[in-house]
Chains A and B, each alone.
Chain A
Amino acid sequence: MKNRIKVYRAMHDLTQEALANNLGVTRQTILAIEKGKYDPSLELAFKIARYFGASIEEIFIYDEPV
Chain B
Amino acid sequence: MLKIIYSGCTMKRNTFYLLAGIVALAEVGIFWLSVRLENPIPIQVAFVLGVILLYLARRRVEETIEDERTAMITQKAALRTLEASWVIFFVLSLGSAVIAFSRPLGLRPPHPEPHEVFPTEALELPVFGGFAIFQMTLLCLMIFLYVGFRVYYARKYGEWDTDEEQD
Contacts and interface: CB of A to CB of B under 8 A. Distances in A.
A22 to B, nearest CB: 11
Given A15-B165, A17-B165, A28 B68 contact: no
Which applies to chain A's interface (DSSP): helix, strand, loop or mixed?
A: helix
B65 interface: yes
Contacts, number: 52
A28 B165 contact: no
A25 B69 contact: yes
Contacts of A53: none
B77 to A, nearest CB: 15
Interface in B145-167: 156-159, 161, 163, 165
Please tell me the size bucket of the interface on A. Answer: 20 to 34
A28 B159 contact: yes
Interface string A35-66: 10110110110000000000000000000000
Contacts of B113: none
A30 B67 CA distance: 11
Q: Which of B66, B70, B165 has the most CB of A within 10 A?
A: B165
A16 B158 CA distance: 14
Q: Which 8 A-B pairs have the closest CB atoms?
A: A32-B158, A37-B158, A25-B67, A29-B69, A38-B157, A41-B68, A38-B69, A16-B165
Interface of A: 15-17, 20-21, 24-29, 31-32, 34-35, 37-38, 40-41, 43-44
